A and B are shown apart, each in its own frame.
Chain A
Amino acid sequence: MNVLAGVMIVLGFGFILAGVIGILRLPDFYCRLHAMGKCDTLGVALLIGGLAMSEGFSLASAKMLLVVAFVTLSNPTATHALGRAALRAGLVPWTRTGGEKGS
Chain B
Amino acid sequence: MPERSDRTPSSQSTPTRSFGLRSLAALPFGFLLFGLWLVLSPKRDLFHLGLGALTACAIALLSGRLVGQSPPIAEPNGRSLLRMPWHRFVGYLPWLAWQVMIASVQVAYVVLHPRLPVDPRLLRVRVRYPHTLARLTLANSITLTPGTVTLDVDGDEYLVHSLTEASGKALEQGTMPDRVSTLFGVKAEGIGS
Residues of A within 8 A of B (CB): 14-15, 18-19, 21-22, 25-28, 30-31, 33-35, 37-39, 41-43, 59, 62-63, 66, 76-77, 79-80, 83-84, 87, 93-96
Contact = CB atoms under 8 A, between A and B. Distances in A.
B120 A39 contact: no
A33 B161 contact: yes
B30 interface: no
Contact of A87 (B36, B100, B116, B159): B159
A25 B149 contact: no
Contact of B161 (A27, A30, A42): A30
28 contacts: A15-B104, A15-B108, A19-B107, A19-B111, A22-B108, A22-B111, A25-B116, A26-B118, A27-B118, A27-B120, A30-B149, A30-B161, A31-B118, A31-B163, A37-B143, A37-B149, A38-B104, A39-B108, A42-B103, A76-B144, A79-B143, A79-B149, A83-B149, A83-B150, A83-B151, A87-B152, A95-B119, A95-B121
Contacts of A96: 118-120
Interface of B: 36, 39-40, 42, 100-101, 103-104, 107-108, 110-112, 116, 118-122, 139-140, 143-144, 147, 149-152, 159, 161, 163
A61 B21 CA distance: 37
Contacts of A26: 111, 116, 118
B122 to A, nearest CB: 6
Contact of B107 (A34, A77, A84): A34
Nearest to A60: B42
Contacts of A22: 107-108, 110-111
Given A63-B40, A95-B120, A33 B108 contact: no
A35 B103 contact: no
A30 B143 CA distance: 12
Q: Interface residues of A: mostly helix, strand, loop or mixed?
A: helix
A55 to B, nearest CB: 14
